[in-house]
C-alpha cells in the first residue's frame, strides 16, 4: 500500500524545486543587473552598497543549494521508506517535511524582500 501522504510530500517537494529554479534564475538576473550598474558607476559609497547586495545574492545562492540538498535527502528518505507503518521513519519524514515547509516559506519571503529592496534602491539612486 502506498502512503498517500508521502505522495503529497513528493509533489510538494517537486513544486519547491521548481520554485528554487525560479529563485536561482532571478538571482542570476539580479547579479547581472548589479554588474551592469557597477560598470557605469564608480562612486565608492555606491559601490559599497552594491557589494553588500552582491554578498546577499551570494548568500541566497548558498541557501538555494542547501534547500535543494535537503529536499533531495527528504525525497530519498520517502523513496527508501518501504514500510509505511514504521512510526520512527514516518515521524522523521513528517517532521522533516514540516521543517522544509517552514524553510521554503522563509526563503520565499526573504528572497522577495531582497529583490524588492534591490530594485527600490536602484530606483532611488540611479538618475
Task: Domain count for the chain, please give it.
Answer: 1
> What would the pLDDT profile of 100-113 be if each residue is shown by its tens digit?
999 999 999 999 99
> What would the pLDDT profile of 25-66 be if each residue is shown by its tens digit?
999 999 999 999 998 867 888 889 999 999 999 999 999 999
Query: What is the pLDDT, as a whole number, of residue 90?
Result: 86
Please give the share of the chain, as a percent, with pLDDT higher than 70. Answer: 93
User: CA 111 to CA 25: how far, in whole Å?
Assistant: 12
What dihedral angle (degrees, nearest 10) is formed by the CA atoms of 5, 98, 69, 57?
Answer: 140
In the block, cell 548589479 appears at 34
Range of the domain at 72: 4-125
Q: What is the mean pLDDT of the chain?
A: 92
Amino acid at each position: 500500500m502506498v502512503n498517500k501522504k508521502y505522495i503529497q510530500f513528493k509533489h510538494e517537494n517537486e513544486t519547491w524545486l521548481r520554485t528554487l529554479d525560479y529563485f536561482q534564475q532571478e538571482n542570476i538576473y539580479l547579479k547581472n543587473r548589479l554588474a551592469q550598474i557597477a560598470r557605469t558607476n564608480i562612486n565608492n559609497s555606491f559601490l559599497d552598497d552594491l557589494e553588500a547586495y552582491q554578498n546577499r545574492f551570494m548568500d541566497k545562492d548558498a541557501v538555494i543549494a542547501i534547500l535543494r540538498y535537503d529536499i533531495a535527502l527528504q525525497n530519498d528518505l520517502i523513496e527508501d521508506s518501504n514500510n509505511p507503518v514504521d512510526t520512527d521513519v514516518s515521524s522523521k519524514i513528517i517532521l522533516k517535511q514540516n521543517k522544509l515547509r517552514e524553510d521554503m516559506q522563509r526563503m520565499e519571503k526573504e528572497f522577495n524582500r531582497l529583490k524588492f529592496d534591490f530594485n527600490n534602491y536602484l530606483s532611488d539612486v540611479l538618475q
